[in-house]
Structure 1
Amino acid sequence: MTTTFATASTAVSARATAVLAAACALVLGAAVPSSAINSYNATPAPERTEVGALVATWDHDDDPATPDRVDWVCSGTMIDTDTFLTAAHCTSDWPANVRFFVSLDQDVQGALDRAAERHPGDPAAVARAVAVPGTAHNHPAYPGPASDTHDIAVVEVPADRLAARWAFTPAALPKAGALSALGPQGLRETPFTVAGYGTQEARRGPGGHTHPGGGVRMKAPVTYDALNDAWLRLAMTAPQGNGGACYGDSGGPNFATLGGRRTLVATTVTGDSPCYATNVTYRLDSPGARAFLSPFTKLP
């Protein structure tokens, strides 16, 4: 079973059913310290300042003029000074009044909690306190067929406002066909790292499975599993020393060391629902991804 790795926290469990069905899996575990990525073989990633969280405000009551919900919902990466790369399922099927923001905080959940105390009942003020507003652009062919869902999006943000709050170096993108050029043996020998703000792997409790944590930027090693025209599958099994992605890591980066350079080669899209086995990621060296990205950023 696979599911998209987007999320909404328990604080926003009343989010519209259509949105949840299309893009999100609700996280039920909340009474534990925040963490991200799977709990095994993972470490904090304060140095990955180009990796950020997608924050959203929206409304679902009888007064759509003002938002009544705010939360971080996905992960992503700055690929230049004003372009945040994420997944299209993170920015699709929301209420019409949704607004997106980008935060590069290491602990976005903590920042949201503190802002909520300062701005009670004002989700828009909370979002502005922790993030910079942006405009989302989805791949026009999303959702496509299983062979290539075109699950890729960018959020354009004001470069000056982002730079005034966070220092970062944009992620390097791969050359066309970079992963294919490595071949199976080269891919097996390539170090991969997944990063994001997502939850931990499933834990069984009295009420069934929960996915605790989320909201803190983490990283974990993953290893090559398979390559398709649009997809790179990465193994995240603990016995092999891997970590992995989970809910909330959608849109987040999967880095590889290519020619001695850290390169953003794919974005997290889906995987197995307990978050134990495989991270299915969208290739950024493919013709489709490059065609979509070319109007927004310079490609190698």
Structure 2
Amino acid sequence: MASLRTLFISLLAALTLAAAPTASAIVDGTLDVEHDYVVFVGQQVQFPDGTWRNANACSGVLVAPTIVLTAAHCTLVPYPPDWPQRAVVRQGENIFAPEAMALGSFNVHPDFCIGCPGAPHPDFANNDLAVIVLESPLSGPYAKLPKADFAGKQFDKEKQLVAAGFGLSSLPGTGFGFRRSAQTGAIVASNAPNFLLLPVPSKSKYGTVCSGDSGGPALVGTVVVGVHSIGEEACGGPSFAYRLDTPDAQSFLSNYLDVRG
């Protein structure tokens, strides 16, 4: 298992030259022109010389003019913890020609914890959720939050949802930076009920998530039932999405949004 973020310290500049309109992202998905609230989340770190440098590349979902949700592990970097960091959010189908951009600050779930009980894998984290507060608003549309226990009731058995993000379509490094989506199955994870399990695709029309899709939404219509968290390094599934309908998630989100539905 591995996190679904992508390091893009130099990748973004390189891919700007190599990107083509046919580039892809979600594995076995299609280019997405529908879910305009799915956004790219870039992390930057400020070095001691004052320069801001690219670090992680993730996905996210816009739920209000100045609020984006993503995965907490997208803030993890191999630098001293007191070095400032910020989010660079890009809106549009193609991050190399974004329709809009905004800077923001990361706010990590206070109980985000690697190796703690409740994680879907011993080496990974529970409460893998962060809120980005933007310095300037982005226009809608905006995704909706789920009501309490929405996913718990809807996904007690495997059902279909839509996974979306800006990540790779295959390894190594193919397709980064174009918004894609795919249908996939999902069920509440029996070993980690704060998460949805997206199994290895059981139908030919299903796709999977890959590196760079961390923080992107698992969608039922316009409702974000979870954000993508951890998956197989080979990007063929299974993967896990952190649920947004649990008490742990909604208590945190209520500091920034009305979660009453």
TM-score by length of 1: 0.73
Counterpart of 1:87 in structure 2 is 71
How many equivalent pairs are there?
Answer: 244
Aligned position for 1:200: 169
The answer for the alignment partner of 1:266 in structure 2 is 226
Structure 2, unmatched stretches of 5+, are 120-125
Pair member with larger Rg: 1
Q: As a proportion of its length, which structure holds more strand?
A: 2
Q: Select between 139-148 and 218-227 the one with higher mean Cα deviation.
A: 139-148
In structure 2, the partner of 1:122 is none
Moved more, 211-220 or 225-234: 225-234
The residue type equivalent to 2:161 in the other structure is F
Which shifted more, 263-272 or 43-52?
43-52
Within-5 A mapping of 1:120-159: 131-144=101-114, 145-148=116-119, 149-158=126-135
Name the CA distance, whole Å, in 1 between partners of 2:153 and 2:202: 28
Paired-residue identity, %: 26
Which structure's residues are more often helix, by fraction?
A: 1
Give the alignment of 1:104-253 within 5 angstroms: 104-108=91-95, 110-111=96-97, 131-144=101-114, 145-148=116-119, 149-158=126-135, 161-163=136-138, 167-182=139-154, 184=156, 187-188=157-158, 190-202=159-171, 210-227=172-189, 228-237=192-201, 239-253=203-217
Aligned partners of 1:235 and 1:242 also within 8 Å = no
> Which letter does structure 2 place at the counterpart of 1:11?
S
Give the aligned residue type for 2:182: A
Structure 1 equivalent of residue 50 of structure 2: 65
CA contact (8 A) 2:163 2:181 kept: yes
Deviation for aligned residue 1:9: 3.1
Asked whether the 8 Å contact 2:155–2:187 carries over to 1, the reply is no
Question: Kindly tell me: are residues 266 and 183 of structure 1, through their superposed partners in 2, closer, same or farther at Cα, counting changes over 3 Å?
Answer: closer
Match of 1:9 in 2: 8
Q: Counterparts of 2:86 and 2:186 in 1: how far apart (Å)?
A: 36
Contiguous gaps of at least 5 residues in structure 1:
14-27, 113-128, 203-209
RMSD (Å), alpha carbons: 2.7
C-alpha separation in 2, matches of 1:32 and 1:239: 30
Q: 1:176 to 1:251 in 2, by over 3 A?
A: same
The letter of the residue matching 1:254 is A
Normalising to structure 2: TM-score of the pair?
A: 0.83
SS of structure 1 residue aligned to 2:152: helix
CA contact (8 A) 1:201 1:276 kept: no
